[in-house]
Amino acid sequence: MAFPLTDGYHLLPKGKMAAVVTWLDMHAPPPPGPALPPGVKLAPQPSPDAAAYLSLFRAIGEPWLWFGRLQVTLEELQRQLTAPGVEVYHLSQDAATIGLLELAREQNGDVEITYFGLLPQCTGLRLGPAFMAAALELAWTPATRRVWLHTCTFDHPGALRFYRKCGFQPYQRGLEIFDDPRLSGLLNRGSAPEVPLL
């Protein structure tokens, strides 16, 4: 929801964080991207287990302060993961899970890439473009009218550039203010050490 902001600096209370969020979308399938390398596959998880999902979610998202899936009970998360329109996929390399993809299909034909990420040790290995190409191939069906996602200033520094190279176009910018998940106990206090605790 838009609200008036004055120019200049705005101090946050201790324990609060602010991220600049950019929303991006595409309205037609992009040209085919690179194929996943041998030994790497993207497989659906038709009955995802909430506890196993959280373990992978933390392993991928902790450096970037992902906390959205940590705010609910396991029972509620299980309901969310198995809700109509929600699809969970694992990227694996030689049978070891190295990435997470979550899609949310809406009845109006919009598809959100809710979560997309690789384990920290797998970033920088040029897997991202092929992973996203495979994700977009899944997202685009005859019923799809738009695919969208968002990123923020706590994400990987190259995330916005990466999404644009994959064919997404920025269409909205906003500000998210939230409690530091390390102070609230959702994440370890040592997570994202480059972001100071206040």
**C-alpha to C-alpha distance for 15 and 148, rounded to whole angstroms:** 30
- For residue 34, the 8-state DSSP code is P
CA 47, 54, 43, 101 torsion-angle sign: positive
Residue 161: closest CA among 170, 171, 174, 173:
170
Question: What is the domain-level CATH number for residue 63?
Answer: 3.40.630.30
Looking at the domain assignment, is residue 149 inside a domain? yes
Rg (Cα) of the chain, in Å, rounded? 17
Residue 99's H or E segment, with its range, is strand 96-105
- pLDDT value of residue 119: 96
Looking at the domain assignment, is residue 196 inside a domain? no
Looking at the domain assignment, is residue 9 inside a domain? no
Looking at the domain assignment, is residue 186 inside a domain? no
Looking at the domain assignment, is residue 187 inside a domain? no
- pLDDT value of residue 93: 93
pLDDT per residue as tens digits for the range 10-42: 899 999 999 999 999 999 999 999 999 999 999
Q: Residue 90 corresponds to which amino acid? A: H
The residues of the chain scoring below 70 in pLDDT are 1-3
Number of folded domains in the chain? 1
- pLDDT value of residue 171: 98
Domain membership of residue 53 as a residue range? 16-157+170-179
Looking at the domain assignment, is residue 43 inside a domain? yes
